[in-house]
């Protein structure tokens, strides 16, 4: 990695969200509560969409995988972050850092494409309802999810290799709460132009491709809704997209702010705040966004709790 006359970095030190001592314990409990809600919400979505027969549709199949991705994204980052808040030595090994970056990239890219797949599903359901069961068959849904994970893994391998192909030979203090590409490359003692370019191009390409699908699909959905003669039909069609529009706006806005800009324009402190949002807040919010205003999910939860209570009483 580094030239022979330089000492190779074997571990990094994570500065965390804040270096102010009086904020550490309050931050720990705030992030612990957020992570607890994230786990509970996403595990709940995964469970309901897996066991309830009324939720065995393409829309909830994709929602289940979105919950898996959200849960994975938070779990890769938050437990280590919480541990580091409580300990004095906030270190992470070189290979653990590379693994964390690689896993984080898989989940974040998978979410980018899953949101695009989900809006395509709504496009087919609203614009081509008669062909919906053919276009969104079980096999095609599995194929779309498989391609999503394949793109995510491929992007992760390229990004992680690019970040760790440069030399880290002096400073090992990462101005972040996890191993992300931007603060890592800021520590490198070699030329980072190539990895910065690779990450910028891959992030931009993924975002542009998925956002194009989202914009085109929603444009067609909007036109289809406007053509509907029934006010009730328009309301029902819009309600099926409202949750997804909210999730897409929050997620893509944050990701574009973070990655679709050259590193020279990055402020690491500002990026940390944005990172808190999409590694902690968004995974916590998504189950709420997709369930609180979703009658099918609320009904499935009632059935699940009723069946669980009946089973426990019979025992």
State the pLDDT at residue 3: 44
Report the DSSP pairing between strands 11-14 and 91-93: antiparallel
What pLDDT shows up at residue 219?
92
Q: Above 80 in pLDDT, residue 315?
A: no
- Domains in the chain, number: 1
- CATH number for position 123: 1.20.1070.10
Q: Is the residue at 4 inside a domain?
A: no
Residue 112 lies in a domain: yes
Q: CB–CB of 283/71 below 8 Å?
A: yes
If pLDDT is split at 50, 70 and 90, which confidence band does 2 have? very low
Residue 187 lies in a domain: yes
Please write the tens of the pLDDT for every residue from 92-110. Answer: 999 999 999 999 999 999 9
Residues 6+ apart with CB under 8 A from 266: 182
Mean pLDDT, all residues of the chain: 86
Task: With a cut of 80, say whether residue 144 has pLDDT above it.
Answer: yes
Determine, yes or no, domain membership for 76. Answer: yes
- Domain hosting 104: range is 11-314
Assess if residue 61 is contained within a domain: yes
5 found inside a domain: no
**The pLDDT value given to residue 238:** 76
Is 65 a domain residue?
yes
pLDDT score, position 158: 95
Residues 242-296: tens digit of each pLDDT: 778 888 888 887 777 765 555 555 566 677 878 888 889 999 998 888 876 677 8
Residue 59 near residue 122, CB atoms below 8 Å: yes
Query: Quick one: average pLDDT of 137-155?
Result: 96
* pLDDT surpasses 60 at 1: no
Strand pairing category for 91-93 and 173-174: unpaired
Q: What percent of the chain has pLDDT over 70?
A: 91
Q: Which tops the pLDDT comparison, 137 or 257? A: 137
pTM strictly above 0.85: yes
pLDDT at 188 over 60: yes
Provide the pLDDT confidence category of residue 54 given band limits of 50, 70 and 90.
confident
- Does 3 fall in a domain? no
Q: Is residue 5 pLDDT above 50, yes or no?
A: no
**SS3 string of 215-226?**
HHHHHHHHHHHH
Q: How many C-beta atoms lie closer than 10 Å to residue 282's C-beta? A: 21
Would you say residue 221 has pLDDT above 70?
yes
Highest mean predicted confidence (pLDDT) among 101-105, 200-204, 225-229, 242-246: 101-105
Residues 6+ apart with CB under 8 A from 16: 24, 81, 84, 85, 90, 177
In terms of pLDDT, which residue wins out, 250 or 72?
A: 72
């Amino acid at each position: 990695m580094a030239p022979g006359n330089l000492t190779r970095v074997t571990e990094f030190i994570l500065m965390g969200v804040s270096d102010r001592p009086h904020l550490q314990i309050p931050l720990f409990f705030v992030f612990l509560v957020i992570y607890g809600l994230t786990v509970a919400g996403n595990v709940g979505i995964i469970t309901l969409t897996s066991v309830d027969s009324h939720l065995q549709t393409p829309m909830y199949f994709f929602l289940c995988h979105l919950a898996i991705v959200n849960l994975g994204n938070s779990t890769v980052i938050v437990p280590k972050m919480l541990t580091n808040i409580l300990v004095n030595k906030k270190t992470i090994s070189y290979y653990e850092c590379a693994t964390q970056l690689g896993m984080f990239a898989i989940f974040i890219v998978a979410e980018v494409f899953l949101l695009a797949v989900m809006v395509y599903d709504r496009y087919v359901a609203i614009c081509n309802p008669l062909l919906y069961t053919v276009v969104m068959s079980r096999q095609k849904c599995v194929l779309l999810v498989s391609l999503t994970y394949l793109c995510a893994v491929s992007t992760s391998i390229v990004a992680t290799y690019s970040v760790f192909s440069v030399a880290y030979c002096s400073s090992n203090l990462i101005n972040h709460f996890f191993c992300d590409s931007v603060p890592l490359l800021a520590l490198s003692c070699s030329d980072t132009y190539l990895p910065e370019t690779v990450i910028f191009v891959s992030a931009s390409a993924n975002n542009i491709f998925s956002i194009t699908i989202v914009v085109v699909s929603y444009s067609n959905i909007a036109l289809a809704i406007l053509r509907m003669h029934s006010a009730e039909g328009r309301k029902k069609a819009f309600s099926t997209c409202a949750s997804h529009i909210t999730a897409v706006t929050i997620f893509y806005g944050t990701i574009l702010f973070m990655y679709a800009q050259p590193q020279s324009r990055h402020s690491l402190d500002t990026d940390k705040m944005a990172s808190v949002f999409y590694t902690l807040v968004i995974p916590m919010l998504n189950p709420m966004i997709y369930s609180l205003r979703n009658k099918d999910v609320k009904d499935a939860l009632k059935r699940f709790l009723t069946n669980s209570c009946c089973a426990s009483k019979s025992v």
